[in-house]
């Protein structure tokens, strides 16, 4: 068995998924029947023909990257106006 964890092109941080290659179909079937968790998260198995349908942000099947919950969790707001909170505080504009 071999495991490949891809890295992000921009940050070199590991992605949220891994590619696993098995020595035999029987080993793959046996492994995929198991429920495995890592750091409190249940791992999800997907077949190679489904990989192009996975969200590249969260790794879930059927999730669109533009509507992904992880899309807006970068720690900053969508507005890029640095003085907006000051205008609101002092009732300007």
Q: Which two tokens stand for residue 42?
A: 């249940």
Rounded Cα gap, residues 72 and 86, in angstroms: 23
User: Mind listing the pLDDT tens digit of every residue in the chain (93 residues)?
Assistant: 999 998 988 888 888 788 899 999 999 999 999 998 988 888 888 888 888 888 877 888 888 888 888 876 555 555 567 788 788 888 887
Helix count (H) and strand count (E) of the chain? 2, 4
Running DSSP on this structure, what letter comes out for residue 75? Answer: S
Backbone phi and psi for residue 49, each to the nearest 5 degrees, phi listed first:
-70, -10
Q: What is the residue whose two structure tokens read 């205008």? A: 87
**pTM higher than the cut 0.85:** no
């Amino acid at each position: 068995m071999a495991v490949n964890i891809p890295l992000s092109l921009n940050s070199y941080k590991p992605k949220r998924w891994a590619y696993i290659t098995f020595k035999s179909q029987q080993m793959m079937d046996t492994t995929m029947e198991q429920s495995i968790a890592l750091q409190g998260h249940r791992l999800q198995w997907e077949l190679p023909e489904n990989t192009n349908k996975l969200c590249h942000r969260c790794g879930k099947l059927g999730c669109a990257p533009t509507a992904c919950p992880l899309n807006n969790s970068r720690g900053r707001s969508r507005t890029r106006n640095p003085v907006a909170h000051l205008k609101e505080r002092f009732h300007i504009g």
